[in-house]
Amino acid sequence: MPKSSEEHRNEAVYRKAKKEGYRARSAFKLLDVQKRYNIFKRVFYILDLGSAPGSWLQVAKQFSESNIEKYNDNYYHRDHYKIMGVDTKNLAPIEDIKIVKMDFTAPEFQVEIDNYFNREKLDLILCDASINKSGNKFSDQARQIKLCYNVLELRENLKIKGNFLLKIFQGADFENFYKKMKQHFMVVRSLKPKSSNKKSNEIYLIGLKKKY
C-alpha cells in the first residue's frame, strides 16, 4: 500500500532529527514552541517530565548552555545550569543532565526535585508526557486531562514569572483546564506545532510568567 503524504512527511522529519543529532523528531515540536514564544529566555533550571527518549532534554541543554554566555549581564543570570529529566521508561544518559526513572505523579518525586535543585525555584517546566492510548478518544482524553492536572500541581516548583509547557488532548474539559492555567500564568497560549501529526488531537499549552 502506498504511503500517505503524512507518512512521507513524518519520515522526512524523522530523518532530519537524526541528521541534526536529536533522538526523536519531537525535538522540532519544542523548537517550534521556542521560535514562537521564546520560552527558553534566561532559563537555567529546567524540569522535563516524560522525557523518553530524550530529545527535549537535548534541546533544553542546548539553550541552557548558550544562555550562560548570552545572558551574562546585570539581570537574572547563572553561571551554570541544572536539568532533570524523569520517565518511567529507560532513558540513555545525557552528559550533565540528571535522569530519574520513576513516576513523576508519585508524591516522593518532590523529594527528587528538592534534592537536585537544592530547593531553588525552577525557570521552566516541560512536559511531553502522554498516557498509553487505548484507542477510545473520549477515555484517552479524560486520562490525559487527569495527567495534566497532576503536572500543573508541580508549578509550585516554578519561580515567579517562570514558564510552563505541556501536552494536552483536545476535547472535553480542555476549556476548563485552559481556564485553570490562566489562573496561574499571566499569558496562556495553545499551539499545534508544525511537526505534530496532523491527525493527532494533541496540542500544547504554554504558560508564560507564573503569577504567584
Contact 159, 121 (CB under 8 A): yes
Helix axes 5-19, 27-37, angle to 10 degrees: 80
The strand pairing partners of 98, in sequence order, are: 84
CA distances to 69, 91, 144, 160 from 120, in Å: 21, 25, 29, 12
pLDDT by residue (tens digit) across 143-159?
A: 999 999 999 999 999 99
pLDDT by residue (tens digit) across 13-22?
A: 667 887 788 9
- What does pLDDT average to over the chain? 92
d(CA 165, CA 169): 13
Which amino acid, one-letter code, is at 182? K
Helix axes 137-153, 174-184, angle to 10 degrees: 10
pLDDT by residue (tens digit) across 34-73?
A: 999 999 999 999 999 999 999 999 999 999 999 999 998 9
Second CATH level (architecture) for the domain 5-210: 3-Layer(aba) Sandwich (3.40)
Question: Coil, helix or strand for 145?
Answer: helix
Which amino acid, one-letter code, is at 105? T
Task: Report the candidate in 124, 200, 136 with the shortest Cα–Cα distance to residue 162.
Answer: 124
Task: Report the candidate in 104, 188, 177, 185 with the shortest Cα–Cα distance to residue 145.
Answer: 177
Q: Pick the catalytic residue: 29, 61, 82, 167?
A: 167
Q: How many residues does the chain have?
A: 212
pLDDT by residue (tens digit) across 90-125?
A: 999 999 999 999 999 999 999 999 999 999 999 999
pLDDT by residue (tens digit) across 152-209?
A: 999 999 999 999 999 999 988 999 999 999 999 999 999 999 878 777 889 999 999 9
Contact 86, 49 (CB under 8 A): yes
CA distances to 19, 60, 127, 155 from 159, in Å: 35, 17, 17, 9
What residue segments make up the domains of the chain, in order of their start? Answer: 5-210
Active site (annotated) includes residue 211: no
Which amino acid, one-letter code, is at 10? N
